[in-house]
Amino acid sequence: MVEPAPYPSGLILTGRRVVVVGGGQVAQRRVPALLAAGADVLLVSPEVTPALEGLSAELTWVRREFEEGDLDGAWYVVAATNLSDVNERVGLAAEERRIFCVRSDDAGRATAWTPAVGRHGSVTVAVLGNREPRRSAALRDAVLEGLREGTIADRRERDRVAGVTLVGGGPGDPDLVTVAGRKALMEADVVVADRLAPRELLSDLPADVELIDVAKLPRGRSAQQEEINRVIVERALAGKAVARFKGGDNFVFGRGYEEIIACREAGIPVRVIPGLTSPVAVPGLAGIPVTHRGVTHEFTVISGHVPPGHPASLTNWSAVAALTGTLVLMMAVENAPAIAAALLDGGRHPDTPVAVVCDGSMPTERTVLSTLGDLPADLVAHDVRPPAIIVVGEVVGIAFPKPPPKLSP
């Protein structure tokens, strides 16, 4: 027999009579959805499950066996008893009255099939797996999960608003972007992406999204930032939804607030989606806690992009050396020897454990263990290159309790 091809349709049941025959598990699954659709439900069954009984105020329950006349005035029928002969009678009565009828026992004798249904915001997802309910349910779940996680684009033209969204991308692995971050990317008209943002996600963007790769903008830090500010403001003023996608969190050495100021001056609404920031996430991925009870009550995150003693330095390194907690150094590979020297000068012990975590969360991730005294030599020996997070303090000793094994370069 040739399998019929169902014709899908979204029924508007508001105020319309729907008859459900049977009061067991199947009815229990169908009735709440019918009520949610506003249907005038007539439930026919001598007995019903406690859950259905709990709904009795919202429907009409006729406490007896099915009679053909129950279908008078109905638009839709669900034959959901566990008795095939009753379902068959319901089906025949429905056919006579030209009412579509779902059957719990034999889809082949039904005139309507119930799809696996789910909702995402204002969208209803319905999957008809041609009599393979598990398959439909699995597909439905996959679609809903994709919508929730943003791996399936849901370009809601109606509620999409022009403006700028700062999206924190996390340390690099696309799995470490937040659900909200992914959604914002998929809903954007324009994505302005940084070098350190999880770039794999960019290949999933819908084809009509304009992708602006900051790594390709003219060099020079301030010129580049001015150009970024100009581009995001211009696109947002043109009515586009702009996602500013960066590694980690946009407000941690990410110049995110400069972009906010530029938007504010232009009267553009801004939304912020925080990201997993690398000074916490990257040590964590390497198994290093930035705090540990009884060991440290503080962790201090410092940018090392300006060397100690440089006129542009805003950090008091002798005060930092005097701190007793964890130090997390970012953008510090180049100046690490000068920073280690400043910390030793300030009284830190040369045996203070140090971990350098390179390419956190990426396939090339590695951790180089060292000490403050040996750090300059170890960075050379292990050919450490940015991006890297340098963790200084006892927490490194806790995570790697043995004397740091000297890895060969």
d(CA 307, CA 203): 37
d(CA 110, CA 105): 9
d(CA 66, CA 343): 86
Write out the catalytic residue numbers: 194, 216
41 versus 327: smaller Cβ distance to ligand SAH: 327
- Report yes or no: 257 and 279 within 8 Å, Cβ to Cβ: no
The least CB distance from residue 170 to ligand SAH, in Å, is: 8
191 versus 252: smaller Cβ distance to ligand SAH: 252
115 versus 387: smaller Cβ distance to ligand SAH: 387
> Distances in Å between the alpha carbon of 40 and those of 12, 43, 74, 316, 381?
12, 10, 9, 73, 77
What phi and psi, each to the nearest 5 degrees, are found at residue 261? -65, -45
The least CB distance from residue 288 to ligand SAH, in Å, is: 12
Closest CA to 176 of 167, 164, 163: 167
Count Cβ atoms within 10 A of the Cβ of residue 218 and give its class: 0-12 exposed, 13-18 middle, 19 or more buried.
exposed
d(CA 125, CA 130): 16
Closest CA to 386 of 328, 331, 304, 308: 331
Helix (H, G, I), strand (E, B) or coil at 200: helix
40 versus 194: smaller Cβ distance to ligand SAH: 194
The least CB distance from residue 249 to ligand SAH, in Å, is: 4
90 versus 388: smaller Cβ distance to ligand SAH: 388
Which parts of this chain interact with ligand SAH (CB under 6 A)? 171-172, 196, 246-249, 252-254, 277-278, 282, 330-331, 357, 359-361, 386-389
d(CA 30, CA 271): 40
d(CA 244, CA 268): 14
The total of other beta-carbon atoms located within 10 Å of residue 287's CB is 12
Peptide bond into 387 cis (omega under 30): yes
271 versus 366: smaller Cβ distance to ligand SAH: 366
The least CB distance from residue 248 to ligand SAH, in Å, is: 2
The least CB distance from residue 52 to ligand SAH, in Å, is: 52
What phi and psi, each to the nearest 5 degrees, are found at residue 156? -80, 95
102 versus 357: smaller Cβ distance to ligand SAH: 357
The least CB distance from residue 224 to ligand SAH, in Å, is: 14
Helix (H, G, I), strand (E, B) or coil at 114: coil
The least CB distance from residue 357 to ligand SAH, in Å, is: 6
Q: Which residue is nearest to ligand SAH (CB)?
A: 248
